[in-house]
Structure 1
Amino acid sequence: MHESYRKWYSHHLGRDIELLVFGNWGYPVLMFPTSMGRFYEYKDFGMIETARWFVETGKVKLYCVDSIDRDSWYGKHLHPGTRIWNHVLYDRFIHHELVPGIQRECNVQKIGVAGASFGGYQALNFAFRHPEQVGHLFTMGAAFDIRSFLNGYYDDNVYFNNPPDYLPNAQNNEFYHMNIVLGSSEYDFCKPSTQHISGILNRKGIRHRLDIKPWGVHDWPVWKQQFPEYLSMI
């Protein structure tokens, strides 16, 4: 399985962002790491190995991007307003810099986004903020209400990055052309949050699959089963 390391200087963030890319060609899937996770996390925990067949046969090309969680959601040393603003800059990096580069490299109009745990929040939030860039969305064991990270602080940036708040009022025809899978498991403490988002999508008539595995907790064995299953839906 071909693997390449890349370093991308982001003008929005004013820093280098590291990535691991798996595969030479195929439909691109951008993977967001779990809480404070690094770009090599999905490789280290064996998630990439579960997708070996899809990568080696040229079905998909996986882009594992670094997070800046320590300076945004988990940056307790910073004022909450600064934390959410840093996430806004990260979103701009993904939206204006990284994804257009992936689109050009793979010659596609839309990409896939995926993530486990907090990476699932990142993937879903990006997909519904920028549905013109996303054709496939896969979340695994994710929670989506981020207000608890901000010590009661609330502004427009929080609203527009908190899916339970903005999704009920959001309107975009591209929502209805996305292949969406919301994954969880029976004993995952994030299951209610996933079900809540599914309910919002149902009320809006947005087609998706709610996949609750009848076993397992909030952990890698469940996500490693789900990931190749979801890739097969591309």
Structure 2
Amino acid sequence: MHEEYRRFYSHHLGRDIELLVYGNWGYPVLLFPTTMGRYYEYKNFGFIETARWFVETGKIKLICVDSIDRDSWYAKHLHPGARIWNHVLYDRFLCEELVPSVQRECNVSKVGVAGCSFGGFQALNFAFRHPDQVAYMFSMGAAFDIRSFMSGYYDTNVYLNNPPDYIPNAHNDHFYQMKIVLGTSAYDFCRPENHRMSEILSRKHIPHWLDVRPWGEHDWPVWREMFPHYLSLI
């Protein structure tokens, strides 16, 4: 399976963002790591191996993106306003720099996004903030309300990055074209958040699949089972 290490300079962040890319061609899917995870996390946990057939047959190209969680959501040493602002810059890096580059490279109008745990939040938040850039969104074991990271602080940027707050009031035709999977499991402590998000989407008549696996906790074994199934939907 072809693996390529890349460094992508972001003008918005003023730094290089490291990536691992799997496959020479295929439909692009961006993978966001779990809490404070790095770009190589999915490789280390055997997650990429579950997608080997899709990558080697040229159906899928995987782009594992580094996070800046230590400078944003989990940067407890910073004022909450600075934390959320750093995430806004990360979002601009994604939508204005990285994703357009991937679109050109793969000759597609939209990409897929996916992630486990906190990476699932990142995937869903990016998809609903930029639905014109996303055709597929797969979250696995995610929670979506980020107000607990803000120490009681709330401003427009928090609102615009907290899906349970902004999605009920958002309107975009691209929402209804997106293929959305909310993956969780019977003993996942994030399961209630997925039911809540499913209810929000259902009230807006946004098609989606709430996939509740009958076994498994909030951990890699169930996510590794989910991922190739979701890729088969592309």
Does the pair score TM above 0.5?
yes
Output the TM-score relative to the length of structure 1. 1.00
User: Between Structure 1 and Structure 2, how many residues are aligned?
Assistant: 234
- What is the one-letter code of the residue matched to 1:206? I
The 3-state SS of whatever aligns with 2:215 is coil
**Map of 1:129 onto structure 2:** 129
What SS does structure 1 have at the residue aligned with 2:187?
coil
Matched, 1:33 2:33: yes
SS in 1 for 2:17: strand
What is the CA-CA distance between 1:20 and the residue it aligns to? 0.1
What TM-score results when the alignment is normalised by the length of structure 2?
1.00
SS where residue 19 of structure 2 aligns? strand
Task: Quote the Cα distance in structure 2 between the aligned partners of 1:78 and 1:194.
Answer: 29
* Matched residue SS, 1:216: strand
Deviation string 1:11-57 (CA, Å, 9 cap, x unpaired) is 00001100000000000000000000000000000000000000000
Once the two structures are TM-superposed, the CA of residue 2 in structure 1 deviates from its matched residue by 0.1
**Secondary structure of the structure 1 residue equivalent to 2:29:** strand
Whole-Å separation in 1 of the counterparts to 2:60 and 2:144: 26
Deviations 1:189-215 (A, max 9, x none): 000001100000000000000000001
Give the alignment of 1:1-234 within 5 angstroms. Answer: 1-234=1-234
Query: Alpha-carbon deviations, 1:44-87, whole Å to 9, x = none?
Result: 00000000000000010000000000000000010000000000
Cα separation, 2, equivalents of 1:233 and 1:78:
41
Distance, in Å, in 1 between the alignment partners of 2:8 and 2:110 is 20
Structure 2 CA distance, aligned partners of 1:174 and 1:10? 27
AA aligned opposite 2:17: I
Identity of aligned residues (%): 75
Gaps (5+ residues) in structure 2? none
Q: Which runs of 4+ in 1 moved over 3 A?
A: none
State the Cα deviation string for residues 93-134 of structure 1 (Å, max 9, x = none). 000000000000000000000000000000000000000000
Letter in 2 for 1:160: L
**Amino acid in structure 2 at the alignment position of 1:151:** S
Q: 1:136 and 1:8 mapped to 2: Cα distance?
A: 23
